[in-house]
Structure 1
Amino acid sequence: MKKIRLKGNVRDAALSVLLAVEKQQAYSNLILNETIDNYGLAAKDRGLLTELTYGTLQHQMTLDYNLDPYVKKKLETWVRILLRLSLYQLFYLDRVPDHAAIHEAVEIAKKRGHGGTASVVNGILRNVQRNGKRRMDEIEDPAERLAVATSHPVWLIRRWISQYGRETAEMMANENNQAPPQTIRVNMTRASVDQVIELLAEEGLQAVKSPRIPECLFVTGGQPAKTAVFRNGLITIQDESSMLPAYALQPEPGMTVLDMCAAPGGKTMHIAEKMHDRGKIIAMDLHPHKVKLIDEAAERLHHVIVESVAGDARKSAQQFGENRFDRILLDAPCSGLGVVRRKPDIKYAKEESDLAGLQVIQSELLDEAAKLLKPGGRLVYSTCTVDREENDGTVDRFLARHPEMVLVPTELPEPLDAGTAEPVQIFPHDFGGDGFFVAAFRKK
């Protein structure tokens, strides 16, 4: 492929992002910002770039299913991605005229390839446009049909069906293809919710209160991270579901708290706010460059009780001593299958075999947490996955190994609190937040 960058061309920029995701396993959310800078895109085109990128990733298997009858020979990777990108516009974007989407694809094919490539791209897209969407009932197997219709790997759909039933699997897969809401957490140590709503309005953003979490706001009309409200440490960008672990932890001013896998620090800062900046929080992460993110967050939010530490939390008892902490949060490394809406490339990058290795790490971290926790202390285990083995399975095995640990109620905000000593599984379709799991334990 010719190394050509069409400066300012939003569709060519989307193609570059998608190509990096496919060939280099780059994270779409990270490569997007870099691409915006490289292409010098105007502000008005940035939203379209995001929509084209995420939309094409979200519906990738469906798009391929519709392309396959017209592809007569093996295509170069970039050509296949260009066809997906163009088909996404034909099928899902009403405001983009078909002729414009096809014309743009042909022009990009000419510049990145040659006249023959452009002819192939034009022919395939014209055929799809003429014949319309392919019928899903051509796929006999129900799980495979749902997988293609919602663009989720077949193994994942089968796993969700076996764990939760077809109805939940289908609702979850469909929700994963919707755009996530933009939510923020108000730093209640520095401003009230009403004050933040007013300050955001002055900067042209609209914010409404969450009906579930008092310090959570839904924001539209702009990017909260670009505001003075953010720079001045009054808010944090955070999904509503990921605000739950700090509630479950029940931290109090003056306590000593460990956040075992803390970076980039969103939950650590939420705990500091719950403690009114009195006490001590040790925030660990394995990677030194990620620890810097914790320090930056603490400085921006003016939290003085956070001490960041780089190291392997599985060996933290050697460093801190046993029976040391009043509260421990383990927001564990996981498959991330609850955040597919925000990172659609996750569903294609994961293999079912990956999950077993993650469960080993999760169990090792929980075992270490049990040593570190004071008698009578509280441990919270949370993940951003919806996989039952990573969640309930890991909890059950932990309790079997540690008779000194007992499940206790999670004590979440009232609309979400089950009132029982059972872990809480949040699905993406429950209220539009990320898929999330929270379990709380007490050490006897």
Structure 2
Amino acid sequence: MTPSGRLSAAIDVIADIESRRRPAAEALKDWGSGHRFAGSGDRAAIAGLVYDALRRRASSAHVMGATTGRAILLGMLKVERGLDVAEIDRLTDGSRFAPAPLEEDERRALASASLADVPAHVAGDYPEWLDGHLARAFGEERAEEAAALARRAPLDLRVNALAAERGAILKEFADYNPAATPWSPAGVRILVPAGAKSPAIQSEPAFIKGMVEVQDEGSQIAALMTGAKPGETVIDLCAGGGGKTLALAAMMAGQGRIVATDLDKRRLAPIHDRLARAGVAHVDVRTPRQAGDVLSDMESGADLVVIDSPCTGTGTWRRNPDAKWRMRPGALEQRLKEQVEVLDRAAGLVRPGGRLAYITCSVLAEENADQVAAFVERHPEFVVTPPAALADSLGASADAFLAAARIGEHGIQMTPRRTGTDGFFVAMMRRS
């Protein structure tokens, strides 16, 4: 396909997403099924255009003065990819498979494009109804923080310490120009240029042998901050596909006991194959049942309970840019209820002197500090661990990390702008 043909396809996909309010991955898959002639490079380039347009949807629409798929794509080419009017003209020449030529009002909009003095939700590319929530979290810096959440994310890998060392993995993946992550001692980072195909990591021998896992550095840091130790009894209460479970297992060096479960058995399904591939044998996976609590025998029995809590996912907008536009206030309300339920359930599983780690991939105070404060008020037997102490697990990079992250009374907030990671929040409570 020509660059113009790819642009036309991206315009069609965005129009589909906007009209049907469907996930981008679903719309792209349907487009690919209906256009078998498109090669893998074409599909990757089209996906890149679509996701960049979704990342910059508000600012692109503002520049063009319209919210159509065409307007959003044309605006994105200007504000995100930095193309000038002449370059956009060449892509929209009206030839076969190309978009229709620029109209005069489009040409004027592109030529005079400016984001100076725009509202925060336009500069930060997020839904206007979230402005108050982000103002609570970041104040006057909310536009800059949200803009960082609108940028393309790198591909981060976690080296499985049970099977490999980071130095060896950096050599193994040399073709991808990898680098060590700045904070996590187990992280490897690969930058993927706009429009390029993502590396086929799952086909690499090192991945097949369980030597690496795909995991954002922020998620790696969150696992490290739990302080899981060899010999402990640990419950991963919202284990999902097992990303944190695998990280905890590596920290515990195969010694001790991990019980992994999740209220949604569908989310838990992939964990079995991942544990086998990583060579982890000391994890007891408990699939929820309709009758009875699968953790009834664990009452007050865990040294550490880890809650990778259900949340709005606002901290992962770099990777899921369409999610922010589909998010509604009701979703936040539902997540807050679920967080209260899982925190209260976890409280009874922690032994006296044990720890409860609360993690979200959200940047909203309502899901983070507010939940921790409300929890310790409901459960006065729990005391918040000073957040700065959690960084000790990062070793030599601890001081630099603390200088970069947002440190609050109840926990640590990571953001792309400050730490170069997804927007993870971590808090620790100890039962007295």
Measured against the shorter chain, the TM-score band is 0.7 to 0.9
Verify: 1:103 aligned to 2:93, yes or no: yes
Provide the rounded CA distance (Å) in 2 between the counterparts of 1:401 and 1:312. 28
Give the match for residue 243 of structure 2: 266
Candidates 206, 215, 240, aligned match of 2:186: 215
Bigger shift: residues 95-104 or 354-363: 95-104
- Provide the rounded CA distance (Å) in 2 between the counterparts of 1:268 and 1:50: 31
State the one-letter code of the partner of 1:387: L
2: CA distance between counterparts of 1:385 and 1:153?
15
The answer as to whether partners of 2:133 and 2:365 remain within 8 angstroms in 1 is no
Amino acid in structure 2 at the alignment position of 1:207: P
Cα distance in 2 for partners of 1:20, 1:429 equals 31
1:229 paired residue number:
206
Amino acid at match of 1:310: T
2:51 pairs with one of 40, 50, 54: 54
Partner amino acid, structure 1, of 2:132 = R
Aligned match of 1:28: 24
Structure-2 separation of matches of 1:20 and 1:309: 40
Structure 1 residues 162 and 191: CA distance shift in structure 2, 3 A: closer
1:165 counterpart = 2:139 = yes
Q: Contact 2:222–2:424 at 8 Å: present in 1 too?
A: no
Residue 270 of structure 1, CA deviation: 0.2
For 1:370, the aligned partner's letter is A
User: Contact 2:232–2:256 (CA<8 Å) still a contact in 1?
Assistant: yes
Query: Is the counterpart of residue 206 in structure 1 residue 177 in structure 2?
Result: yes
Aligned to 2:195: none
Contact residue 86 and residue 101 of structure 1 kept, 8 A: no
Give the aligned partner of residue 416 of structure 1: 401
Alignment partner of 1:382 out of 349, 353, 359: 359
Stretch deviating more after TM superposition (392-401 or 35-44): 35-44
Aligned to 1:129: 107
Stretches of structure 1 lacking an aligned partner (at least 5 in a row): 1-5, 72-76, 110-120
Separation in structure 1 between the aligned mates of residue 338 and residue 8 of structure 2, nearest angstrom = 40
Where does 1:402-441 land on structure 2 (aligned, <5 Å)? Answer: 402-408=379-385, 409-410=389-390, 411-413=392-394, 414=398, 415-416=400-401, 422-441=410-429
Structure 1 pair 296/33, CA: closer, same or farther in 2 (3 Å)?
A: farther
How far did 1:199 drift?
1.4
Q: What is the TM-score normalised by the length of structure 2?
A: 0.85
- C-alpha separation between the residues in 2 aligned to 1:319 and 1:285? 14
Kept in 1, the 8 Å contact 2:94–2:101? The answer is no
Percent of aligned pairs sharing the same letter: 26
How far does residue 185 in structure 1 lie from its aligned partner after superposition?
0.4
**Pairs within 5 Å for 1:242-281:** 242-281=219-258
Aligned to 1:10: 6
Cα deviation per residue 1:51-81 (whole Å; 9 max; x = unaligned)?
201111011122222333xx6xxxxx9xx21
CA drift at 1:157: 2.5
How much has 1:15 moved relative to structure 2?
A: 4.0
- 1:187 maps to which of 152, 157, 160: 160
Paired residues, number: 409
1:244: how far off? 2.0
1:295-327: CA deviation from partner (whole Å, max 9, x where unpaired):
1211221111223223289x8476334112221
Contact 1:90–1:101 (CA<8 Å) still a contact in 2? no
- Partners of 1:34 and 1:294 in 2: how far apart? 28
CA distance in 2, matches of 1:385, 1:108: 39
Q: TM-score of the superposition, structure 1-length normalised?
A: 0.82
Q: 1:34 to 1:183 in 2, by over 3 A?
A: farther
Q: Does the CA contact (< 8 Å) of 1:323 and 1:375 recur in 2? A: yes
- 1:24, CA displacement in angstroms? 4.4
Q: List per-residue Cα deviations over 1:260-305 (Å, max 9, x = no partner).
A: 1111211110001111122222211233232221112112211112
Distance 2:95 2:278 in 1: 45
Match runs of 1:352-391 below 5 Å = 352-391=329-368
Q: CA separation in 2, counterparts of 1:412 and 1:375?
A: 22
- CA distance in 2 between counterparts of 1:157 and 1:105 reads 42
Q: 1:342 aligns with which of 295, 313, 319?
A: 319
Report the CA distance between 1:150 and its aligned residue: 3.0
Between 1:382-391 and 1:9-18, the stretch displaced more is: 9-18
| Cα deviation 1:357-405 (Å, max 9, x = unaligned) | 3112111111110101111111100000011111000000000010111
Gaps of 5+ in 2: 193-197
- For 1:225 and 1:49, the matched residues in 2 are separated by 22
SS of the counterpart of 1:389? coil
CA RMSD of aligned residues (A): 3.1
User: Cα 1:329–1:199, aligned 2, differ >3 Å: closer, same or farther?
Assistant: same
Residue type at the aligned position of 1:176: L
- Structure 1 residues 100 and 285, CA gap change in structure 2 (3 angstroms): farther
Equivalents in 1 of 2:14, 2:320: separation in Å? 13
